[in-house]
Structure formats: C-alpha cells, structure tokens
C-alpha cells in the first residue's frame, strides 16, 4: 500500500467552503481521476483519507494537508496534476510527496496567518501589537456548545508582525496587514481570538471583518521562530 501526502489551498470564494464541503469535492475528484484508493473495512467502506488540522470556514489557506492510501503505486506529481484538474479553481492541489516517514500530524505544531485589516491605520495596529507583546496575559472569550469560555491567548502567539498595505491598492482607505505565528495548543487559539486580544489590550476594533489567510503550517522552530515545511522529511527520505 502506498501513502501520498498532499498540500492543497482554499482561495478566493472557496475559502467559505466548510471542511465537509471539501471532503465531498475531494472524494469526487478521486473518482474522476480514477485514483486506485484503498478503502476501510465494514458495511460502509470509505476511501482512506486522513485530514490534518483543517482551517476554519471563511479563512483562506495556502497550506492544508491530507494523506491518502493507494492500492497501487502512482507517481506523486502525476497524481497531483490529475487531482488538481478534477477540483474547482480555488481548491488547488499544489504539492505531493510519497509518505516515507511517520507522524505528519505531529509535525503540524504551528501556523503562520496573515490578516488584512481594512479601515485600520498601520500605526494604530503597531501600537496594539506592542501592547499585546508586553502583556503577561491576554484573556479572551469564545462561545462554545457549553457556554462562554474564557482563556489566555497570549502563550500561543509566538510572533506578531505588522506590515503596511500594498502600494497598488485601488482605494485610499487605510489598511494594515498583521502576520502572526500561532502555536497549536489546547484550547486552540484562532486568528479571531488574537483580534479579540488586541481589542482587549488596546481597544483595536476593525470596522469590517478581517480577511484571514493561513500562509503555512508545520513544525515550529523555537530557536528561529519560523515554521518549517512538514513535507520536507519525506522529500529528504526519498532523496536518501
């Protein structure tokens, strides 16, 4: 049995698809591409597909991961191209490697997020980020099925960076870009939790919802503060 690991994206309007929507679209793509899938046992067999840490509905992503099991070997790049052609534009398969190591999910320990904050002045965002960085704790609240939960969002945020908006934007409205590295902890700290934290410590309140994109996810390097490619160990094993 061969295992293939794939990286896919959620772009444009497709960021509003739920994880279940993607699962249905991906299973249709597997059938269209005639992928020799391995199936689970039992009365209702399902294709052996393992999804890892899917992004929330409404957020874009350049770095979603899954793993499939095949009954016959296939070239990863050929398989990637076939699946990409079988999915709608915006749900794009952008990378594929043969799984030669274990523990893909264990290598997804942090995410890099980018938040576009229309209507927010970059200087105002910088002041809010400085207040967040200096805070010992940043308590935020989230509604759960068991009611409102309060937790400290500060320890999960490894890095916050501010950027000015692109120079070629078609409007003169202020716009700030926030890039953050967030560790995957329990309870999970999401980008909207960080925005809640910025409001709590600096009264930052964007006038419109942020456009959120996950740029990367992988193993967090504590020394450099960067997030590494989770598929790199499989490529290195193949080269060896």
Give the pLDDT confidence of 106-124 residue by residue, as tens digits. Answer: 999 999 999 999 999 999 9
Q: How far apart are CA 7 and CA 66, in angstroms?
A: 7
Identify the band that residue 240 occupies on the pLDDT scale cut at 50, 70 and 90.
confident
Q: Which tokens is 49 given? A: 């597909």
- What is the tens place of the pLDDT at every residue in 208-227? 999 999 999 999 998 888 99
Percent residues over pLDDT 90 in the chain: 82
20 φ/ψ angles, rounded to the nearest 5 degrees? -65, -40
What average pLDDT does the segment 149-171 reach?
82
Rounded to two decimals, the pTM is 0.92
19-28, 40-49, 52-61, 80-89: segment of lowest average pLDDT: 40-49
Q: Which tokens is 81 given? A: 């191209």
Q: Which residues contact 218 (CB under 8 A, 6 or more apart)?
A: 63, 107, 108, 109, 110, 227, 228, 229, 230
pLDDT of residue 165: 66
């Amino acid at each position: 049995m061969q295992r293939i690991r794939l990286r896919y994206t959620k772009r444009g309007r497709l960021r509003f698809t739920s994880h279940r929507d993607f699962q249905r679209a991906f299973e249709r793509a597997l059938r269209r591409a005639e992928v020799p899938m391995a199936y689970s046992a039992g009365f209702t067999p399902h294709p052996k597909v393992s999804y890892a840490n899917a992004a929330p509905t409404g957020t874009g992503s350049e770095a979603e991961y899954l793993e499939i099991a095949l009954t016959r070997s296939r070239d990863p790049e050929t398989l990637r191209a076939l699946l990409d052609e079988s999915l709608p534009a915006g749900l794009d398969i952008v990378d594929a490697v043969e799984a030669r190591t274990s523990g893909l999910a264990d290598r997804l320990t942090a995410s890099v997020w980018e938040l576009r904050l229309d209507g927010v002045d970059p200087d105002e965002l910088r002041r809010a980020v400085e207040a967040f960085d200096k805070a010992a704790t940043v308590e935020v609240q989230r509604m759960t099925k068991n009611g409102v939960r309060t937790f400290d969002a500060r320890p999960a945020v490894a890095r916050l960076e501010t950027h000015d908006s692109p120079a070629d934007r078609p409007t003169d409205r202020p716009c700030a870009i926030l890039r953050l590295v967030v560790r995957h902890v329990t309870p999970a700290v999401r980008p909207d939790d960080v925005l809640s934290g910025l409001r709590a410590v600096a009264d930052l309140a964007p006038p419109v919802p942020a456009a959120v994109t996950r740029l990367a996810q992988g193993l967090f390097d504590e020394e450099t503060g960067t997030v590494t490619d989770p598929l790199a160990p499989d490529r290195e094993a193949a080269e060896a």
